[in-house]
Amino acid sequence: MTQMKLPATTISRNFIDNPNYEKEHSETNDSPNTSTFTLTDDIPNHRDSLINQDSEFEIEDFMYSDDDFEYDDDYNQTYDSMLTKPVKRSSKKELSEGAVPNLSYEILTTQDIFENMLARVDHLQPIFNMPREDILLLMQHYDWNEERLLENWTERMEELLVEIGVSQADVRPTDINVVKDTDEINTSETKIERGITYKEGFNCVICCEEKDTQTFSLECGHEYCIDCYRHYIEDKLHSGNVITCMDCTLALKNIDIDSIMGHNSSKKLMTSSIKSFVQKHNKNYRWCPYADCKCIIHLSDTSSLAEYTRLHYSPFVQCDTDHRFCFNCGFETHAPADCNVTNAWVKKAKKESDNLNWVMSHTKECPKCEVNIEKDGGCNHMKCSSCKYEFCWICEGDWAPHGKAFYQCTLYKNDENSKKTQNDELSKTMKKYTFYYRVFNEHEISAKLDWKLGQTIGSKVRALQEKMDVSWIEGQFLTDSIKILNEGRTALKWSFPVAFYSDASHNLTKIFVDNQSLLSKAVEDLSELLQIKEPEEIMKKRLEFYNKSGYVENRMYALMECGRDLLCKGICKPTDQIFK
């Protein structure tokens, strides 16, 4: 279980990409302090290299001078900020944590939650004074709600036990349901034991087959053949509810299930029970929305969420596999847009004809030779492979003015639009939407390609280590850069819905669009830089990596704040009416 607060984890996250880290530190994994020790070898190295390079970043030397520095949590943070100094990660915290309370959350899996529950069962054991298996049943029945269980327990202990099926009612359940001509149950009046037995010529009342078979029964004596029981349990494992005898309320314990179904089957039941628990407590628990990700975020204190909404912040969380998403709406990180804008945008996008937009945004014709081009990675500086024409992917104009001049591609050109459609208001708004949707989509596709690029970054770092004799920690600037590229791209992407829903005539909107352009330029630059493959070239341009990613980050937070301003002042309103 990872009890985490945002600042403390930033450093340990850097280790996730190191393939050896798990192996080396598997025994000491859970203590944050031990992981800092592993860094100590690299500190002087890192510092030297930075200083030797005459880095333009200020490095406060006194931090290093103290040899007896204590490796406590403070150090953890100090070192963290030192490490990331060039990219100024701290600025993020000032921005996002100043106004709203810090979110403190846990990252769990169903297994973690189950173990948590087991611990609670142990805790309850002295109160109930019964086997753990039985308490587990009670908890499962009460959806793992300890308080409600205890309350009912004190009120009506005996009834509860019968109701939940832990113990039998005194009166034998009347066997009205049993087919008369099978007297199997009535013949075995003596004390019946739970478990599997082997019977010859057993007549099962469920399948009505007479055969030599293993049978199972609980203390209630309702005995059925093992095949029927297996079939019965198989169907119920996914529901997560307590499984009872087929004919009465007596419950099957996990050991019974395992003995009938084979090893570990009860685990399936427990997992589905925990899943429904998470689903039911969706105020505090949320699944990571990314495909195949098994992380669950647990936010025990949700009181601050209202404050987030009020200030148009979004409670972004990050799971163990580095997926960042909004705890509120379950969508990916969507700053500068808030949940409302996101929701409106996504709904709108769904409504419009997807196919057309898809085709539009996936292929383009070369403006010169009209060959169809699909962009499969990299920045927006395109070079047609057939006619060698260089153009900008977004505006499809000549690239030459883009290179140095001010980057105009995020601006929506009103005048150009009015040329074609004079009075048709509807098609105008449609066109406006199409434009924004297209840029949004393009950045989404680029983000996906960047993500793929990010998957290869590990091998790039290794190449640096092998060929350039660079230590692992030093190669991390690449990993950091790609992370920032991803974040910047996402922010840029979600800034288009904000721009779309904003009052275009307002001054702040203009500032916002300018900010967009700046970030867009910064992101494209960084993206281009990350296309470099040769390790020598990468090391040469290391400083550029730092600078550019730092710049992207700064621009990103500026854009986010600007967008929030638009939202707070009501200039950006996600309404559908204007655009219908």
Partner 1 sequence: MASLPKRIIKETERLVTDPVPGITAEPHDDNLRYFKVTIEGPAGSPYEDGLFNLELYLPDDYPMEAPKVRFLTKIYHPNIDRLGRICLDILKTNWSPALQIRTVLLSVQALLASPNPNDPLANDVAEDWIKNEQGAKAKAKEWTALYAKK
- Residues annotated as catalytic are 379
Between CA 412 and CA 404, with CA 363 as vertex, the angle to 5 degrees is: 50
CB of 247 to partner 1, least distance (A): 4
Minimum CB distance to partner 1 smaller for 177 or for 197: 177
Structure tokens at 381: 């500086």
CB of 238 to partner 1, least distance (A): 13
Residues at the interface with partner 1 (CB under 8 A): 176-179, 205-209, 222, 228, 231-232, 235, 246-247
Q: Is 6 exposed, middle or buried (0-12, 13-18, 19+ CB in 10 A)?
A: middle
For 198, list phi and psi in degrees, rounded to 5.
Answer: -105, 130
Strand 104-108 with 296-298, pairing: antiparallel
Minimum CB distance to partner 1 smaller for 222 or for 493: 222
Judge contact between 574 and 341, C-beta under 8 A: yes
Minimum CB distance to partner 1 smaller for 222 or for 312: 222
Could you tell me the sign of the dihedral formed by the alpha carbons of 168, 173, 178, 181, in that order?
positive
Minimum CB distance to partner 1 smaller for 233 or for 394: 233
* Residue whose structure tokens are 């399948």: 207
Q: CA 366 to CA 385: how far, in whole Å?
A: 10
Minimum CB distance to partner 1 smaller for 175 or for 503: 175
Judge contact between 247 and 233, C-beta under 8 A: no
* Residue whose structure tokens are 């203590």: 31
Can you say whether residue 453 is alpha, beta or left, with left for phi > 0 and alpha for psi between -120 and 50 degrees?
Answer: alpha
Minimum CB distance to partner 1 smaller for 196 or for 208: 208
CB of 151 to partner 1, least distance (A): 24
Q: CA 473 to CA 15: how far, in whole Å?
A: 9
CB of 412 to partner 1, least distance (A): 50
Half-sphere exposure of 111 (CA within 13 A, CB side): 4
* Residue whose structure tokens are 């621009």: 555
Q: CA 164 to CA 548: how far, in whole Å?
A: 63
Minimum CB distance to partner 1 smaller for 228 or for 341: 228
| b/e map 10-22, b = 16+ CB within 10 Å | bbbebbebbeebe
Q: What is the dihedral of CA 337, 343, 347, 349, to 10 degrees?
A: 20
CA proximity to 324, closest of 349, 290, 357, 301: 290
Structure tokens at 301: 């204190």
**547: Cβ contacts below 8 Å, ≥ 6 apart:** 86
Minimum CB distance to partner 1 smaller for 130 or for 206: 206
What is the C-alpha end-to-end distance of the chain, expressed in Å? 49
CB of 174 to partner 1, least distance (A): 12
Judge contact between 344 and 576, C-beta under 8 A: yes
CB of 189 to partner 1, least distance (A): 20
Could you tell me the sign of the dihedral formed by the alpha carbons of 367, 371, 374, 375, in that order?
negative
**107: Cβ contacts below 8 Å, ≥ 6 apart:** 2, 4, 295, 296, 297, 298, 319, 320
Minimum CB distance to partner 1 smaller for 208 or for 371: 208
Q: CA 164 to CA 31: how far, in whole Å?
A: 41
Minimum CB distance to partner 1 smaller for 243 or for 382: 243
CB of 370 to partner 1, least distance (A): 57
**30: Cβ contacts below 8 Å, ≥ 6 apart:** none
